[in-house]
Structure 1
Amino acid sequence: MYETILCEVSEGVAVVTLNRPDKFNAFTERMNKEITDALKQAQKDESVRCILLTGAGRAFNAGQDLGDVAGGGEVDFGGFLRDRYNPMILQFQKTEKPIVAAVNGVAAGAGMSVALACDIRLASEKASFVNAFVNIGLVPDSGGCYFLPRIVGLGKALELAMTGEKVSAAEALRIGMVNQVYPADTFQEEALAYARKLATLPTRAIGLIKRTMNKGLDMSLEETLNYEAYAQGIAGSTEDHKEGVTAFMEKRAPRFTGR
């Protein structure tokens, strides 16, 4: 179905693999659109309860493939982003299922931005992050100016964006850019186990958590309280809420179905 990515669903997890290892999984227009479509399909598929995004080979994603930039002359950067990247990044937030980035190698430029757009980031000990835009006189895009300061704080985000320095997996963990770091030789297994655990949790509630927290970033306390009440009304009517309460009363582990 896809030319630049692989997508496989197993045990509630849709594993989406960026599959241009000879180009360090750099973005092309087709890849942008295929990732967007894969996220939409995962949202529709009730058997999918978590999405794991990773890269084939040694890299997670090296950013834009410059060979895919038409003509090699003047580029309408604004139009380029609006057409190729913005719809993809918005789809990460619209997809109300947990999205985990399994950063297996370098994540540079837009590749770093995409990792930041995911809900949770797991990193191999060999992974690294490079906010490379400044090195060619550009501004972080693909949500980089939105997600990075919210994740690591404005001061650190400005430092990383202005200097373009490489961040190791260990440093990324220290500053809160990633949630976990695993040994390289067991990384794929650890990342998949993490995603499978998320896939056993109440998926509708997780989607509502994601939506409400994202909205809360741009709302007042009063507005957030009101939206929490709205979201709780939806969550309280789900089968998983009923199962959670029943399991608690029966002193057993809940068996959530995502409904």
Structure 2
Amino acid sequence: MAGNIAFPMYDVNRIATDALAKALQQRFPDAQLQHPADLLAHWQDENLLLSQTCGYPLVTLLTDVQVVGHFHYTAPGCEGGHYRSLIVVRDADKHKTVTDFRGHIAACNSPDSQSGYHALRNYLNHDDTFFRSIVWSGSHRQSLKTVQNGTADLAAIDCVTLALLTRYEPQALSGLSIIDETTLTPGLPLITSRHTSAQTLAALRQALREIAEDKKIAEPLLIGGFSPASRREYDVILTASSGA
């Protein structure tokens, strides 16, 4: 089947990410690999064969896409097909608890990020007055930089991103410590267009299961398995973010 594919969410090591995409292309030779700059437009593409998104955009913005499933990651903080965020501060503050940061500044990658914003907001019981202000950084990597340079004091970072940076870009974590973690949430969903047939959806799930078992492809990305999933599994994200 023709269509576009991308794995934009954990693209810390481009060589490893492209190897994952090429393994999928071997099974779907007409698929086109993309490195999209506009993620929302990419996820909403009618010709989307496969991509990975964040749970919060899935439940709030991507109402028409089909959920294929999610990878299981071996990063510290993951359990099965679920992951969490780790709360990061400067080493000088590693003796503190999160409650000590009331009135301080948080760095968050985006208002529609589950791991960088909503997981932290849920952790704080939706107390939107807890921080003096929020620096919207644009990415987890930039959030770490803002904590390192003192522009912000604390950030919640996706545990898979943190583990990949530890492996491939350890300087991104220089001078930083983890002081706590958020609750588990379903792993980042792999999605396909609403036009993808049931037959192709089944083929995608089989291909991803096989790829996740190929250690040469999976291990550099900390992938330890794959599970099919439905949109219903992600309803907990919307419930938690609403404070219900």
For normalisation by structure 2, the TM-score amounts to: 0.24
The structure having more radius of gyration, on CA atoms, is: 1
TM-score, normalization by structure 1:
0.23
Give 1 or 2: higher helix fraction: 1
